[in-house]
Structure 1
Amino acid sequence: MKWNAIWEPEQAIDPRQTSRRVCRLRWMMLSLASALTAGCALLDVALPWLLIIQALATLALVNLALPRLPDWEVSAEQALRLGLLADVLVLTELLAFSGGAANPLASLYLPPVLFAALLSPGWFAWLLAVLSVAAYGLLFEWHLDWPLNGGNAAYAFNLHLAGMWISFALSALLIAGFVSWLARQLRHQGDALAEARETQLRDEQLLAVGMQAAGAAHSLSTPLNTLTLLVDELISERAGDAALLQDLLLMRAQLASCRGTLSRLKHGSEPSPGPQPLFAALAERLEGWRSLRPDVRLDWQAPQGDDPRVALDAAFWPALFNLVNNAAEAGGGEVTVAAQLRQGCLLLDIINRQGCLSEAQLARAGLAPLESAKPTGMGLGMMLSHATLARLGGTLSLDNRAEGGVHARITLPLALEEKT
């Protein structure tokens, strides 16, 4: 059995899993005890071998039965307590057959008590500690004699020293290994709690933004309708002015886009169109965005070859265009969007060639509203995109480019439609 298999850290402390881990430790200790017993036999140490083998076999049967106890009869914590109690009783039996309190392995009472204090604190830990102390005390009176090999005091002393070293080594390894494993679990739990607090804070901020957005959608409907009517009148009146007409048509398209956005906001989101060619859908959406931002040069790069059919969640598009808009406004009127498919994931690289983010902005990006360098920016777009992509199972990373600008990468797992 590999040592790292015993102490491999997990993400949370599960009682059933902890009980199984202690069972694996017990198998390891039984293997070491069997090896030690065989070594003593080879050295002709005079011990009651049948009684010792019976004690080890009893503990092995208990350890074999504990994981197989039905959950509805014995809980994981109860199985753990039964195992630790068996450890103390069998250790007492072994010591009683090999010198009693004079046996240096008596300090092995400490690991079961420590495990009980760490994994089942309370009355059971105190009960096991009292039982261990009482058993150790009884061994002063009730035990078989220590093997003296015909009264050879030097032999007995050397054997005692060797036993003390073995006892110390086993206790140190068990305590260090188990406490280190438990500390890792507590650290993982602390990290998970910190992440949960960050997520809760972000969700509360998003809820507040959503409430404000709902109010804004209701308030903006009338001004947008009024502006649309005015633009339509101006278009009919100034049809002969080609330059002004082009600006008015652009204004009408922008107002229509605003009305569509408010409509989607009122109804929750736009419906999902179902499976469609991935890169073609991206190109079509980006082309629509380009028509609304003629002042920005958009460089769209799609991979060559097959275009897989994918059903993208409707929430993905606002998250994408938040980033594209940020890049357009910070990148001096030039944005590059490159797509590729790797191991079932969509990778989208959004690059602008000017500006940069500070270390604090990079560290907090997506976790809280960022300080926006735009005159009308609220710094919420990055947080909204980060939260949306996280809900869809994706990730968003931001890096400053060495040659200038910012590189945003979206990684989104896809459910590709199988070809028939």
Structure 2
Amino acid sequence: MSIADKSSLRHAQFGDSSRRIRLQTFVRLRWLAVAGQTVTVLIVWRLLDFPLPLIEALLLIAALAAANLFLSYRFSPTHRLEPTAAFALLGFDLLQMAGLLFITGGLANPFAPLICVPVIISFASQPLLPSLALLALAIVCTTALAFTPYSVPWYPDHALAVEPVMQVGVWCAIASMMSFAAFYAYRVSHEATQLADALAATELVLEREKHLSQLDGLAAAAAHELGTPLATITVVAKEMQRELGNDERYAEDVALLRSQSERCRDILRRLTSLSTDNEEHMRRLPLSSLIEEVTAPHRQFGIEIKLIEASSRHGEPVGNRNAGILYGLGNLIENAVDYAHSTVTLTVEHGAEIVAVTIEDDGQGFAPDVLLRIGEPYMSSRPASQDRAGGLGLGLFIAKTLLERSGAILSFSNRQPEGSGARVRIEWPRWRMETDQ
């Protein structure tokens, strides 16, 4: 992968659009909230016959329903919300829920934990900063619920007294549950988004590699299609030269026309040869040729790349050209060259059952924390002064994913003794290497 390609992948913001939720999703959740609140209020008022401020409660529910109707009328169902708009809607939902709880007993209301719902939704779907602002607003609302003058709906002849200590306990329970659930939702959502971004980048890399490997076929096809009209032009040029060759007005132009048509024919002949002379080399690769192709671009950086062939080339596996394997091995070799002091060693072996490539460098090896999380798509950039392999991120994830798609099993470790370099072993079942990819 070129420097420009790496830069474009590093700055690609795959996750921005994934955090913009459709308005229709919010609308449907709100209708569910309207239905649930309405049913609950009617059951408490009608079935249980508890006294409660019915008009105020219905007005708050109607406000939520009216906002829903306005949004459905004003915006398209496919409209996606910006983070600020999502914060405003979730803030409105939070205040509406807090108002409903405030007039029905505050923290003594058994439905008080529902005030956490908008916060959890925000942390699961929105950026961190507006989510933290919503969490702070929710804490303020929860605190306000402790000072409500309204009593919880209950039997008229029984006084339901909630002691201050219980109020504090409920406040602490709601605040801690809200904070923990919000953090948990954010981490799960963030890792899922990060993984989706990395997989999208993987697909882009794979498509690019496949596209490059098919350019020779496209060039040959273009040469074939252009051959017929060019042959006609050449025949006409010859006829014109025969008829007008003695005419001083046109002789030079006709000769130029014929020479340029011959030049075009030579160019098309060379393009056609890309498909005929090198087709087998491009389509089928022995293991030794594959290794040479992935190591060649990295021999110009002052690091010796030592190749050890533990098995004879006789009977080596030959498989179809696989862009994923080429990119994956190339990326691992590039990482080894980056961190090596002077030498990178490639050990290639094959047998009746397996094909294995081991890449070792004489650097400092993998840092312990990196070794535990190797291959995760954490988007970190390595500082220029960093000596240990602590900056592995998206590139290694892409390489690992592409190689695993080809059937490989990867293992990462440090050479012994400690600090003598890193080791990566890639192992395929032989039949996977030789199967059409």
**TM class by smaller structure:** 0.3 to 0.5
Give the TM-score normalised by structure 2. Answer: 0.41
Give the TM-score normalised by structure 1. Answer: 0.42
